[in-house]
Amino acid sequence: MRKTTSAIAALAVITARLGAPADAGSLLDANSLLDQALLLDERCETYESIEDREILLEELEQLLDLRPDDPCIPIIVALLGGSSVAEVPEVPYQG
């Protein structure tokens, strides 16, 4: 799970970097980006240490309400056992 957390943190930082305006005054320096990635990594890791499903569900609900694009959400979902996959049933042939 550690590699997944690190990969998600890195992707979140890259996404933030690419979405930033291109002028020189607003670009973040490399140290700031690394600090942000490490903070995100640490925050997501805290969810891995929670063993109580009820607490994890509460955390997931709060994140979905407050920050639905939070990169830690997939980690919490995985810790809860993954998500179900919706399936569209086939319509029987009405020939």
Q: Which residues contact 41 (CB under 8 A, 6 or more apart)?
A: 5, 6, 9
Q: 40 or 29, which is more confident?
A: 40
Statement: residue 1 has pLDDT above 60: no
List the chain domain ranges.
Answer: 2-79
Measured from the Cβ of residue 36, the count of other Cβ atoms closer than 10 Å reads 16
Q: What is the pLDDT of residues 36-93, one digit of tens each?
A: 777 888 888 888 899 999 999 999 999 999 988 888 888 888 888 876 565 666 777 7
Residue 40 pLDDT:
81
Q: How far, in Å, are 18, 19, 46, 91 from residue 27 at the CA level?
A: 10, 10, 29, 52
Q: Is 82 left (phi over 0), alpha (psi -120 to 50) or beta?
A: left
Q: Which residues contact 28 (CB under 8 A, 6 or more apart)?
A: 16, 17, 20, 36
Statement: residue 10 has pLDDT above 80: no
Residue 56 pLDDT:
92
